[in-house]
Amino acid sequence: MNETWRSWLSGTPWLLMIGCFFILPLAGLLLMSFSGEGGFPSLDNYRVVLGEGSDRPAVLLRTIGTALSVVLLSIAIAVPAAYYLAKCVLSARVQAAVLALVAVTFLVGPLVRTVAWRGILGRSGLVNTVLQGLGVIDEPIMALLYGRPAVIVAMTYNAFPFMLFTVFLAMKMIDDRYLAAGRDLGAGPATVFWRIVLPLAAPGIWTGAILVFVPTISTVLEPEILGGTSGRLAATEIRDQFFHALNWPMGSTLTIVLIVAGGVAILALALVTAALARLSGRIGIAMRAGSTGAGSAR
């Protein structure tokens, strides 16, 4: 089979699909964002959103900041756990069981998952009840719920499995012989992790970061259910414009702005990830070695 022909064949179904059902509406969104009070085309909406005195840039920054903290938290949880499962646990059964337990959380709808945090963090929630029962605190800690911390805890909960699965897969594919070689050359476990495992797992972390970041900037559930008065995030605002104010042009403008800001943040994330990977090991060499090595290891 001809190589070019095969290339196109693999891409066509999806490109055709999104061409018809996605790019077109998106183009419509883009056009609509330019229809303001003064007719079409106009920059009215963008002026309102980004102009002086607008609180939207602050909302946008808050949204991206929140999503980035969720990404970092997910990395902090998933990378050590994935490393432990993929490289420190001998039994495949244990690995499968742990991953399955985490995957089970996905089966519960996002709504139930999110509301459950009220029962955990609330005034008479699990945490406060247990702490009071143990005599650690006298008065319930009210700051646990209805604020940014609760939102981040729930968002991370809803998103970190993406990170865990991709990083686990990436680490699983690292040839154990690299680790052994590193140790034989006198590297301690920490060095092996930072200089060998992490750089080789970087593509997995990167994929995970996107999978965590993107749904997080466009979710409306957690801030509304757990956020109290801590302020709206961008997606909620977009929803309100589309479905409650029925102001589609303004909703479109906010969406375009969020897409652009999200894109910029992803780009920044990519640069930071690359820099970190470079810091922790010689990524270029290791990657090349990894990409041929992992394949032949099978």
* Binders in 65-124 for another protein, by CB under 8 A: 76-78, 80-81, 83-85, 88-90, 92-93, 95-98, 100-113, 115-120, 122-124
Q: Which of the residues 156 through 195 are near another protein (CB under 8 A)?
A: 157, 161-162, 164-166, 169-170, 172-173, 176-177, 179-180, 183, 189
Distance CA 258, CA 46 (A): 12
Q: Which residues pair with 36 in a beta bridge?
A: 39
Burial of 143 (0-12, 13-18, 19+ CB in 10 A): exposed
What are the backbone angles phi and psi of residue 141, rounded to the nearest 5°? -80, 110
Question: Of the ranges 64-72, 243-251, 272-280, which one interacts with another protein (CB under 8 A)?
Answer: 243-251
Q: Residue 143 CB, nearest distance to another protein (Å)?
A: 10
Distance CA 198, CA 171 (A): 8
Q: Residue 199 CB, nearest distance to another protein (Å)?
A: 13
Does 24 engage in binding with another protein (CB under 8 A)? yes
Q: Residue 272 CB, nearest distance to another protein (Å)?
A: 18
Q: Residue 254 CB, nearest distance to another protein (Å)?
A: 9
Distance CA 128, CA 109 (A): 25
Nearest CA-CA partner of 119 in 226, 40, 45, 267? 226
Q: Residue 279 CB, nearest distance to another protein (Å)?
A: 20
Q: Residue 126 CB, nearest distance to another protein (Å)?
A: 6
Interface with another protein: number of residues (CB under 8 A): 139
Does 240 engage in binding with another protein (CB under 8 A)? yes
Instruction: Select 12 or 272, whichever has its Cβ closest to another protein.
Output: 12
Helix, strand, coil share (%) of the chain residues, nearest 5: 80, 0, 20
Q: Could you tell me the CA-to-CA distances from 177 to 180, 181, 183 in Å, in that order? A: 5, 6, 10
Q: Hey, what's the torsion of the CAs at 60, 62, 63, 67, to 10 degrees?
A: 140
Distance CA 214, CA 259 (A): 10
Report residue 194 as tokens. 């930072």
Does 51 engage in binding with another protein (CB under 8 A)? no
DSSP reduced 3-state for 36 = strand
Q: Which of the residues 265 through 284 are near another protein (CB under 8 A)?
A: 266
Cis geometry, peptide bond prior to residue 41 (ω within 30 degrees of 0)? yes
Instruction: Select 129 or 276, whichever has its Cβ closest to another protein.
Output: 129
Q: Give 225's Cβ-side CA count (13 Å radius).
A: 19
Question: Of the ranges 64-72, 244-252, 274-282, which one interacts with another protein (CB under 8 A)?
Answer: 244-252
Instruction: Select 204 or 281, whichever has its Cβ closest to another protein.
Output: 204
Does 11 engage in binding with another protein (CB under 8 A)? yes
Return the residue of 50, 224, 269, 273 that touches another protein, per CB under 8 A.
Answer: 224
The CA radius of gyration of the chain, in Å to the nearest whole number, is 23
Does 57 engage in binding with another protein (CB under 8 A)? no
Nearest CA-CA partner of 293 in 208, 200, 203, 205? 200
Distance CA 263, CA 258 (A): 8
Does 58 engage in binding with another protein (CB under 8 A)? yes
Q: Residue 196 CB, nearest distance to another protein (Å)?
A: 13
Return the residue of 61, 126, 136, 137 that touches another protein, per CB under 8 A.
Answer: 126
Does 216 engage in binding with another protein (CB under 8 A)? no
Question: Of the ranges 64-72, 256-264, 267-275, 276-284, which one interacts with another protein (CB under 8 A)?
Answer: 256-264
